[in-house]
Structure 1
């Protein structure tokens, strides 16, 4: 089954709705300046409301060693997603499973993944400037490539483009954020439901798997 992560969650009602749709993980963004940021204390409260069996992810970008240690040790999260210029040593020493996020615009960005063998997963996302234009990175860059860890595909995915992306890339997982929102941090549950249905339809028809 394709792993489904819903990221940028800021509200308890969206936690409940996403959980009801059977997603696999929920992400809470701790990054200063993000329109979807929630303070650590609020992220912990939201994470503690997540039903058992759904993985809870704290998303960070270039955290200080103290910030990284605090998020890893607080007990509310199952994974950290590090989405900045963190070193391989930071990933290895995090003390918790890590999703290493890499922003992609060309082959060199994908080649950086080789340095992060300590990560549990990779996440490949569009660069901010491409997202601002409403575009996603060229999925053909992933064609024929293999990586040391399973990868999650991100970057503007929603019900309108998800089917083509799944067929083209066949990722371990998908990350749903801006493509299933009314506004930053406010999920459009109708679009989220459609996106989940697209993924599960792909699993059934292309992979012969049914949840």
Structure 2
């Protein structure tokens, strides 16, 4: 079974649709420059809609300890997903500080980028392989994909997710090429940046689970 993470949710309706359709993880973005950014308070309210079996994910970029503790005091995620230049040592500190499991996003553009996976094999609970963005100014969600063929004979030895440019039309091909155990989607289920399309959420999850 392939797990599905729907990221960047910001409304009650989108959370309910994602959960009812079978999402296995739900992500909330805390990054002011992202069109999916919401407050910790909003996320806390939306997270109450999640079934107990569906983990919540806080998506952050280079958060400092104050940000982490403030977030944790308001919104209590199961995972923290990190999209900055956090080191393995920093990940270990964040886990100890918050008690949360860690997803580390790793930007991929070339075969050489896959070497970074080994650096985080003990620090991250899950690595998320995402397309390397041109400027690195946003934590994913730009609809860009990397060459999935790079993962042939190079799949991570630790739990991992495939991300970047996925949608209902291409996710089956991505899974056939990579045999990814989990997939992550954000812009691929939107009608415009930050606006989730409920029918696309349902179609994406159905395509993965079919």
Select 2:183's aligned residue among 169, 174, 196: 174
Asked if the contact 1:72–1:80 (Cα under 8 Å) also holds between the matched residues in 2, the reply is no
- Which structure 2 residues correspond to residues 18-167 of structure 1 after superposition, within 5 A? 18-72=18-72, 74=74, 76-95=76-95, 96-116=100-120, 117-129=122-134, 135-167=144-176
- Structure 2 distance, partners of 1:133, 1:33, is 12
Does the alignment pair 1:184 with 2:186? no
SS class of match (1:80): strand
- Change over 3 Å in CA distance of 1:157–1:132 after alignment to 2: closer
Instruction: Report the TM-score when normalising by structure 2.
Output: 0.89
- Change over 3 Å in CA distance of 1:135–1:74 after alignment to 2: closer
Asked if the contact 2:15–2:46 (Cα under 8 Å) also holds between the matched residues in 1, the reply is yes
Instruction: Report the TM-score when normalising by structure 1.
Output: 0.88
- Structure 2 distance, partners of 1:132, 1:67, is 22
- Change over 3 Å in CA distance of 1:133–1:56 after alignment to 2: closer
Q: Deviations over 1:7-47 (max 9, x none)?
A: 01011110011011011010000012011101222122222
Asked if the contact 2:9–2:26 (Cα under 8 Å) also holds between the matched residues in 1, the reply is yes
- Structure 2 distance, partners of 1:148, 1:68, is 28
Asked if the contact 1:158–1:192 (Cα under 8 Å) also holds between the matched residues in 2, the reply is no
Structure 2: gaps of 5 or more residues: none
Question: More displaced, 26-35 or 122-131?
Answer: 122-131
Superposed displacement of residue 68, structure 1 = 2.4
Question: More displaced, 188-197 or 24-33?
Answer: 188-197
Asked if the contact 1:29–1:38 (Cα under 8 Å) also holds between the matched residues in 2, the reply is yes
Superposed displacement of residue 170, structure 1 = 0.8
Question: More displaced, 72-81 or 8-17?
Answer: 72-81
Structure 1: gaps of 5 or more residues: 202-211
How many residues align? The count is: 201
- Structure 2 distance, partners of 1:185, 1:122, is 24
Superposed displacement of residue 75, structure 1 = 5.7
Asked if the contact 1:48–1:76 (Cα under 8 Å) also holds between the matched residues in 2, the reply is no
- Structure 1 distance, partners of 2:83, 2:158, is 16
